[in-house]
């Protein structure tokens, strides 16, 4: 039976933008590819000790992953209902802890793994206490602890499952009848428990409730959300409803880790490394605390009663993304997205002409910049990635500034790699900047991206990446600096409003200077006696930035100047020493004009233009500060 519903569900507010981002997410692609790769596996057999379970189609296979942010990804038969079976033990254990308290539950049920099959009679010598709540003996004792005073226990169990899954739950009556008819071993276990005083109700009542609990219908999506509740401190990340009190979350996770996969629990922790619970209906619920819940459904079981495809899927996800719970991440900020902005307000340090600034003010929104911080792990990277994908619908270029990122986990690195590939496939551009200290991340990009990775890692300076994106915008608009006639002094802001005769006087007062690429024009400490009109080529104003490491000084760009721009004019105010270096970037031609060569009237008009120009810059900076605050 194929999943007839969409493979991706918008599980949190965000509308069409988030829906599109989820559908396009690299993680969604990954799950679909994983599903396709594992679907042909035909190993295993259907559970036949419950006759009704043999009616399952061996081809059924669904995967779902729900993050603690409420995003749900699905592939295959993720909404196909099946019975929860032993996965219910983890949910019932949490409810029993809430109903009775930790001490009362521990008095009836231990927490030690058995290394034996799920239906083994593993009772503590002398006391008859089941060794843990994940084997049938412990699960029957657990279910019997659910309160049945004001509201029937079955209703309370169904209501609890509903809080976890975010929807009303029901029971597969055919499976229940089949379990009740063939559940003699479980009844025998219940009678032993009653004989030891572990059960306070009749064995028939306890097993009947237990059979109904195991027959609750769920989907792989439900299991993912149930796991996400536990991963999220007991709170459903979609509905915000508390499914399990936080104080008991670690207890449930502990027994899932040590006992949840029966006599494969040790191998599971070794190979997958996530707390989990399986069921003979073919489901597996896995949890990565603080990040996500994972639900897998495939009814073909191995000899230990675990889903064959389910185990393969969980192993692959854990290994591909480095998600073993003992891969401990260092402490990081609550959010990795420090801030994001576009190039309408925050522009590069390149000095732009009035025409260029007008174009960027109108179209700069198609360049988005994201400043990340802290340590990137699966959950944080997935959340940021969705933000970027949602923005991509209206953006042409993404710049991801990683200079404040201290480390990138394997899972986060793979998500970002898939994001880069997705952006490239869409014909748009993505640049990672500030990655020189993230050696492992750079190597992954270089290895996976081949020649394409050179474009992703083209810049280590975010400002240079923004400048390149800006230049593509103004080039397309046909107002690039190369089209500005710098030889026409009307193009320079300092000469605004001057008559032709005045411009002729300015030109006559100056001298044309030519500089080869890399040649110095001004140096810090030089006497300020003139200013320069850029007629052609490019110049760069810069300082030496001391990094605090011996012999590691580097040039810090202040601004890049092209035709139609001016530099050195500040000296007309105070005639002090130069405060920045200026060098030619390309072959550069300037008109150098001594301050004292201008008559007083021209100088006054230039000072007025300068005042207006810098007042405008102050307004832009004030807007920028407000935008980034």
Catalytic residue numbers read 86, 89, 210, 262, 280
Structure tokens at 198: 């572990």
Name 584's bridge partners.
539
**Could you give the CA distance from residue 574 to residue 570 in angstroms, rounded to a whole number?**
8
Q: Taking a C-beta distance cutoff of 8 angstroms, is the pair 197, 126 a contact?
A: no
Sign of dihedral through CA atoms 320, 326, 332, 333? positive
**CA 86 to the chain's CA centroid:** 32
Q: Taking a C-beta distance cutoff of 8 angstroms, is the pair 273, 319 a contact?
A: no
**Could you give the CA distance from residue 396 to residue 390 in angstroms, rounded to a whole number?**
12
**Could you give the CA distance from residue 409 to residue 274 in angstroms, rounded to a whole number?**
16
**Could you give the CA distance from residue 16 to residue 20 in angstroms, rounded to a whole number?**
6
Cα angle, residue 95 at apex, residues 289 and 307 outer, rounded to 5°: 55
Determine which helix (DSSP H) or strand (DSSP E) holds 275, and give its type and residue range.
Answer: none
Number of Cα atoms under 13 Å in the Cβ half of residue 416: 33
**Could you give the CA distance from residue 530 to residue 12 in angstroms, rounded to a whole number?**
61
Find the Cα–Cα–Cα–Cα dihedral 407, 410, 412, 413, rounded to 10°: 80
Q: Taking a C-beta distance cutoff of 8 angstroms, is the pair 69, 12 a contact?
A: yes
Q: Which of 254, 109, 93, 119 is nearest to 183 (CA)?
A: 119
Structure tokens at 9: 């569900």
Q: Taking a C-beta distance cutoff of 8 angstroms, is the pair 492, 374 a contact?
A: no
**Could you give the CA distance from residue 499 to residue 339 in angstroms, rounded to a whole number?**
46
**Could you give the CA distance from residue 198 to residue 524 in angstroms, rounded to a whole number?**
86
Q: Taking a C-beta distance cutoff of 8 angstroms, is the pair 384, 335 a contact?
A: no
Judged on CB neighbours under 10 Å (0-12, 13-18, 19+), 156 is: middle
**Could you give the CA distance from residue 416 to residue 199 in angstroms, rounded to a whole number?**
53
Q: Tokens 């989990």 identify what position?
A: 276
Cα distances (Å, whole numbers) of residue 492 to 27, 79, 489, 495: 51, 65, 5, 6
């Amino acid at each position: 039976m194929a999943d007839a519903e969409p493979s991706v569900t918008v599980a949190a507010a965000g509308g069409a933008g988030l829906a599109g981002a989820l559908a396009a997410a690299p993680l969604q692609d990954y799950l679909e590819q994983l599903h396709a790769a594992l679907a042909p596996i035909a190993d295993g057999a259907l559970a036949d000790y419950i006759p009704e379970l043999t009616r399952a189609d061996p081809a059924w296979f669904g995967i779902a992953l729900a993050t603690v942010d409420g995003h749900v990804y699905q592939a295959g038969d993720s909404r196909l209902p099946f019975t929860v079976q032993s996965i219910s033990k983890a949910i019932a254990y949490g409810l029993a802890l809430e109903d009775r308290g930790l001490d009362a539950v521990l008095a009836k049920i231990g927490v030690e793994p058995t290394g034996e099959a799920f239906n083994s009679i593993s009772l503590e010598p002398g006391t008859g206490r089941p060794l843990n709540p994940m084997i049938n003996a412990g699960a029957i004792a657990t279910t019997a602890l659910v309160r049945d005073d004001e509201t029937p226990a079955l209703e309370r169990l169904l209501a609890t499952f509903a809080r976890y899954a975010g929807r009303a739950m029901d029971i597969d009556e055919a499976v229940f009848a089949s379990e009740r008819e063939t559940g003699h071993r479980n009844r025998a276990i219940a009678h032993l428990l009653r004989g030891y005083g572990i059960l306070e109700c009749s064995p028939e009542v306890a097993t009947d409730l237990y059979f109904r609990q195991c027959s609750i219908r769920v989907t792989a999506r439900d299991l993912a959300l149930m796991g996400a509740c536990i991963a999220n401190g007991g709170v459903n990340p979609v509905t915000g409803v508390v499914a399990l009190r936080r104080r008991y979350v670690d207890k449930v996770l502990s027994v899932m880790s040590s006992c949840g996969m029966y006599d494969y629990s040790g191998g599971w922790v070794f190979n997958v490394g996530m707390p989990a619970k399986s069921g003979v209906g073919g489901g597996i619920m896995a949890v990565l605390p603080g990040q996500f819940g994972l639900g897998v459904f495939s009814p073909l079981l191995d000899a230990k009663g675990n889903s064959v495809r389910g185990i393969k899927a969980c192993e692959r996800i854990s290994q591909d993304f480095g998600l073993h719970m003992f891969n401990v991440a260092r402490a990081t900020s609550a959010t990795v997205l420090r801030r994001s902005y576009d190039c309408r307000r925050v522009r590069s340090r390149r000095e732009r002409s009035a025409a260029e600034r007008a174009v960027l003010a109108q179209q700069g929104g198609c360049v988005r910049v994201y400043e990340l911080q802290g340590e990137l792990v699966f959950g944080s990277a997935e959340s940021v990635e969705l933000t970027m994908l949602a923005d991509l619908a209206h953006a042409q270029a993404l710049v991801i500034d990683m200079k404040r990122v201290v480390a990138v986990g394997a899972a986060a690195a793979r998500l970002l790699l898939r994001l880069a590939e997705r952006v490239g496939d869409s014909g748009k551009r993505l640049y990672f900047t500030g990655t020189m200290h993230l050696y492992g991340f750079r190597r992954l990009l270089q290895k996976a991206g081949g020649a394409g990775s050179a474009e992703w890692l083209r810049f280590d300076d975010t400002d240079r990446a923004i400048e390149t994106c800006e230049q593509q915008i103004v080039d397309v608009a046909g107002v690039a600096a190369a089209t500005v006639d710098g030889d026409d002094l009307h193009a320079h802001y300092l000469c605004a409003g001057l008559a032709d005769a005045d411009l002729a006087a300015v030109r006559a007062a100056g001298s044309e200077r030519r500089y080869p690429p890399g040649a110095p024009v001004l140096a810090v400490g030089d006497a300020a006696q003139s200013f320069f009109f850029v007629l052609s080529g490019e110049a760069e104003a810069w300082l030496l930035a001391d990094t605090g490491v011996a012999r590691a000084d580097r040039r810090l760009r202040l601004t890049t100047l092209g035709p139609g721009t001016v530099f050195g004019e500040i000296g007309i105010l105070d005639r002090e020493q130069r405060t920045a270096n200026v060098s030619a970037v390309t072959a550069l031609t300037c008109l150098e004009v001594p301050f004292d060569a201008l008559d007083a009237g021209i100088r006054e008009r230039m000072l007025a233009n300068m005042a207006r120009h810098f007042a405008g810059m102050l307004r832009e900076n004030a807007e920028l500060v407000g935008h980034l605050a």
